[in-house]
Chains A and B, each alone.
Chain A
Amino acid sequence: MKELYAGIRQAFWEYEPEAALHGLQQALKQEEEPTALVQFLSEQLTEIGEQFSRGELFLPDMMMAGDVMESCMGLLRPLLESKGAGNASLGKVLLGTVKGDIHDIGKNMVKTMLSASGFQVIDLGTDVSTEQFFNAAMQEKPDIIALSSCMTTTIPSMQDTLDMFTDRDLHKSFKIVVGGGSMNQELVERLGHCIYGGRDAFEAARTCRNLMENDQIGGMRQ
């Protein structure tokens, strides 16, 4: 089993999803617990995230590692659920850059850091309209809605999106986290009904983790 784990680790770090899946299948044949494998994969992703935070690995490394993780979870998730292990994800995040703003580098970093932290991320991309956020939230029922704005002139679009939820009292059903270059704590207080993600992708991921650990969300996701 030790050799199998070494092989999975190597495949993971070389961003080879097929080799990683092969290793997992071998391990499962030898009756390894899916929860142990998920734990092992999460440790790899965390390690990659730490190297990213130290500037030793980069956004594409995180993207490729995230792809491997997603492939592996495609195999393991049904097994976990059939064994009653519950949802392997830390939570579901709906992410996007608000209408009028097509900056994506920061948003992509947040996406990879959230994935590395164990969140399931639905990325709506950039220049996302209020209605697109709303429809996706109704369909996906995320735990967290994460909005990004990098320009002062797109803060009003962020307000529009928040209004769409608060006007329907739905801010009580989701945690709405905001961030991006134009955002700061003072503005967040003016916007209302949202939480400041922080100055960078690491802070954003930490904020989301803390929110899930101190979960006060209503019932949308049940």
Chain B
Amino acid sequence: MTARFWELISRGETGPSYTGKEFDLRLFGATKKLIKKYDIHYDPAHIADHEDGMLERVFQAGLELFLEIGMYNMDTGKIIRVTEEEVFEALHRAPCCVTLGEGREKVFVNHRDLEDPSLPVVCGGVGNPMTNDARYQLYLGYALNPMIDYIEPVPPYQFRGRLVKAGTPFEIQACMDNIALFRKASRDAGRPGMPVKGKDGVSAITDIATNREDCGYRKSDHANVYIKPALKTTYEDLNRIAQYLQYGINISSGAGGYMGGVNGGAEGAAIGGMAEAFAAVTIYQANIMSTSVMDSIYPNQTSGKAMWGSNLITAAFNKYTHVPDMWGVYIATAGPCTDMILYEIAACTVGLVVNGGHTFGVAPNQGVTLNYCTPMEPQFMGEVGYAATKLTRKQANDISLKILEKYEDRLMAKQAPKGKTFQELYNLETLEPCEEYRELVASVWEELEILGLKRYSFRG
């Protein structure tokens, strides 16, 4: 499918011209029509067990949106249009399993079906910026955790005493230092082949400069390129893709529908997210998909509507394609060591895993609060993800709804508790979590077991 890349992006030089606003309004109008045509409607009682007819309809609606609207190149003001045949060729030629990592730490990111009993891969996203004083300990904490298959390191925050600035030599060197620090942590944990998910929050020049087999991102890692909302690209992003293809690294891309933005509400965001999944595979050459819907007004992926949308497009993508799909609870609203963050993780993860997703997260406090993330959140996400492999979609829906009841009021009131920092919650010598956090996790697990989510046991 890579061979089509050059031909497809060249259409962004010759396609029809639009202003960004014209494109947005066309997309909004087309989405509204498709919501009616395909009868896509939010159902608060079914956020994780959509009926099969709905899966087919949202898949078709997303496809129709992508074929009608195309992808907008913001640098040329022109549209990249693709044909239905090209979309299905790309889906057909995409792999059903991607191997990440090296040696004993190889990770197989396979396609998972709906209600698939196979265990999901757990990618622990270090979800918040982190000061340099505890960054190594944080990475080591992740690498020492057997539940975490691989991680997404944070973008660098400081470099030799100053904040890192995008697109500068400081950023390039800080990113090289950052990945080297993670490699050291994974070696020190006895997991030198542990893969990494990159790269977000840094400029394209840095993304490209840090692809180095000897001391940067390896070919066995995977690089992420988000599609700009909605259905937009730039040459900076296409430069990334071009270099990643030439380097040979795996590419993941986000199909992200944004509620409140030009997609409209939850229904439009689901259709938009679906359309972006087709764009990701066809134009961005992604071989790992991320399917999600996010609330862009009060950023989160854990509201009832966001989970409804994420689970819907995750299920549709995994029912009708064989491409590996990975998402989780990336943008949560509460902070570490609060009941609410654990509820958000649990509600979101049971739905995504039962609908065919692997797991990726967690970004507490909307991913913007310095030092507010620990290895406990992805560990808990993994535990819930494993447990969810025993559930049907109906069971997952019932559990997810009951968990949602425990925090939805706080989320809607924008009163998520901030929690505590990594430095406050972990012993930085032993890398053990504090008693308070361990007890909180244990008590939330007791609640989850009462709701019907049984802890996974390797003994069967």
Contacts and interface: CB of A to CB of B under 8 A. Distances in A.
A91 interface: no
B450 to A, nearest CB: 32
Contacts of A64: 25
B91 to A, nearest CB: 28
Interface stretch (B116-124, B367-375, B376-384): B367-375
B155 A109 contact: no
B320 interface: no
Contacts of A53: 297
Interface string B238-274: 0000000000000000000011111111001000000
A183 B229 CA distance: 20
Contacts of A60: 24-25, 28, 262, 264
B398 interface: no
Contacts of B263: 58
Given A155-B163, A156-B163, A182 B368 contact: yes
Most chain B beta-carbon contacts within 10 A, residue among A52, A100, A152, A182: A152
B298 interface: yes
A55 B162 CA distance: 40
A200 B297 contact: yes
| Majority-rule SS of B interface residues | loop
A159 B21 CA distance: 30
B393 to A, nearest CB: 26
Given A59-B261, A152-B155, A100 B414 contact: no
Given A152-B129, A199-B414, A157 B25 contact: no
Contacts of B229: 105
A100 B167 contact: yes
Interface string A150-164: 011111110100000
Contacts of B297: 53, 55, 109, 200-202
B423 interface: no
Interface in A180-195: 181-184, 186
Query: Chain A binding site: helix, strand, loop or mixed by DSSP?
Result: helix
A183 B366 CA distance: 11
A201 B163 CA distance: 26
A12 to B, nearest CB: 17
Contact of A101 (B166, B268, B305): B166
Interface string B99-135: 0000000000000000000000000000001000000
Question: A interface, how many residues as a size bin?
Answer: 20 to 34
A34 to B, nearest CB: 28
B296 interface: yes
A144 to B, nearest CB: 21
B264 A152 contact: no
A110 B109 CA distance: 39
Nearest to A62: B260
Contacts of B53: none
Interface of A: 52-53, 55, 58-60, 63-64, 99-102, 105-106, 108-109, 151-157, 159, 181-184, 186, 199-202
Interface of B: 21, 24-25, 28, 74, 129, 155-157, 162-167, 171, 201-203, 228-229, 234, 236, 258-265, 268, 296-299, 305, 366-370, 414
Given A60-B262, A101-B166, A154-B165, 19 more contacts: A58-B264, A58-B268, A59-B24, A59-B262, A60-B24, A60-B264, A100-B166, A109-B261, A152-B155, A152-B164, A153-B156, A153-B202, A156-B163, A181-B299, A181-B367, A183-B368, A186-B370, A200-B298, A201-B297
22 contacts: A55-B265, A55-B297, A55-B305, A59-B24, A59-B262, A60-B25, A63-B25, A102-B228, A105-B261, A151-B201, A151-B202, A152-B129, A152-B164, A153-B155, A153-B164, A154-B166, A155-B163, A156-B162, A156-B163, A181-B299, A183-B368, A200-B299
7 smallest A-B Cβ distances: which pairs? A100-B166, A156-B165, A60-B28, A153-B166, A58-B264, A152-B129, A151-B201
